[in-house]
Chain A
Amino acid sequence: MCLGIPGKIKEIFEINNIKMGKVDYSGVEVEVCLEATPEAKVDEYVIVHAGFSISRLSEDEANETLTLLQEIDEMNQKEHNQ
């Protein structure tokens, strides 16, 4: 249960006054509670833990994660050129 798994919101609805969403994990669709990320929209990615969305994934910052590797590349490139 303990991995936060990212999935894409396909649909948003309510059951018993609880905000829910249908979330797609590469083809497998699961019902997820969206109460902790109420601003999440269809087609956005959320991290889901034990049936609850706990965080919206940021596309921009997803790319920033790779900045560290780009830095490495640049360093290696410099060494290579020297």
Chain B
Amino acid sequence: MISKNKYQDRTLVQRAIQEIKDTVTQKWSIMEICGGQTHAFMHYGLNDLLPEEIELIHGPGCPVCVTSLELVDKAIAIASHEEVIFTSYGDMLRVPGSEKDLFSVRASGGDVRVVYSPIEALRIAHQNPDKQVVFFGIGFETTAPANAISVIKAREQGLDNFSMLVSHVRVPPAIHAILSSPMNKVQAFLAAGHVCAVMGLKEYKPIAEKYKIPITATGFEPLDLMLGILQTVRMLENDQHQVKNAYPRAVKYEGNIQAQTIISETFIECDRQWRGIGLIPMSGWKLRPEFQTFDAEFRFKVDHIQTRESEVCISGLILQGQKKPFECPAFREICTPQNPLGATMVSSEGACAAYYRYGKESYG
């Protein structure tokens, strides 16, 4: 029996923290790529328990946050079509587009529905043959198998009223972009355990070698997070540049081969715009040409989108780990989860939303 409680056990977590304290001798900046981990650190108060030598830098691993403004505007344009049922994960509905969000499309009579997975969108397509059902396929490597299977099944089932607006992003090119920036101060990475569960660890080895940094695949429970930090700090202190696995119960070195096969049958790599960051070469996936008829951008011909970003919001700098949310003049003043200026305040994985929710107002 695998006990979840074991990974939340206070005594075990405290022992891991003590070991981190005993190991660390100097300041280190470690980035947790995944926004889910940012929230977990704050939810459990773990960031306050770490020794002050360790600075956690919050990474861009929040798909809601980095989905480009152009794609959000395209989603809004598609959802505004009368014959469309637009389906999406809930967080995307409040992400600000250039002029409005998906919620306001729904308020104006558009059929915008929150779904838990793309399988639900397929079901809606089956139930509404006279409507066009579009799913907003956002996410990193973790949602890619789900989105890929949905498109494969739609084709198998001849569901010609289903399509997907694809906004897939990948972690390794983002790490490359962060480490090659002249502003970079990240010295090690916690790689997201669920991304590694799908893709394995092999993509990270060349990165660790090229940039001479440690990378540790890390889970989400308090003990997982602290063991991830501990493995990372040990490598930093010993000047080791390896890829380690602190989440072996879910992550195999080779990853989930079945999931990788499904992904590569459906998607090919492409350049991708990241909101607040810009274009990262070959950092995305798009549908293969043989699935073009299931591509909502192709089906609805939504070109010529003119975008306009907020002038105040600094979410781009926050997503790159160069600023903290409380350094933004709009934070908590005019930008709140109820009235977000940027996606980092909307998403349950966004750094601004985490700082707002858990009341972090300053360094320390």
Contacts and interface: CB of A to CB of B under 8 A. Distances in A.
Interface stretch (B117-125, B289-297, B310-318): B117-125
Given A3-B40, A55-B198, A18 B258 contact: no
B19 interface: yes
Interface stretch (B67-75, B77-85, B145-153): B145-153
A1 B16 contact: no
Given A33-B146, A69-B16, A1 B153 contact: no
A62 interface: yes
Nearest to A26: B4
B224 A54 contact: no
A47 interface: yes
Contacts of A55: 194, 197-198, 250-251, 256
Contact of B224 (A52, A64, A65): A65
Contacts of A36: 145-146, 149, 198, 256, 258-259, 262
B97 to A, nearest CB: 20
Interface string B3-20: 010110000100110010
Contacts of A37: 256, 258-259
Contacts of B246: 65, 68
Listed from nearest, the 5 A-B pairs whose CB atoms lie closest are A51-B117, A4-B194, A55-B197, A62-B249, A2-B36
A17 B156 contact: yes
Contacts of B4: 6, 26
A16 B149 CA distance: 13
B34 interface: yes
Given A2-B34, A36-B256, A38-B258, A54 B249 contact: no
- A: interface residue count bin: 35 or more
A47 B250 contact: yes
A54 B256 contact: yes
B248 interface: yes
A72 B11 CA distance: 13
Nearest to B249: A62
B101 interface: no
Contacts of B146: 33, 36, 49-52
Given A54-B259, A55-B198, A55-B256, A49 B143 contact: yes
28 contacts: A1-B89, A1-B91, A2-B34, A2-B63, A3-B220, A4-B142, A4-B220, A16-B126, A26-B4, A36-B146, A37-B259, A47-B250, A49-B142, A49-B143, A49-B146, A50-B142, A50-B143, A51-B117, A51-B146, A52-B117, A54-B145, A54-B198, A59-B1, A64-B248, A64-B249, A65-B7, A68-B227, A68-B246
Interface in A3-41: 3-4, 6, 16-18, 20, 26, 33, 35-38
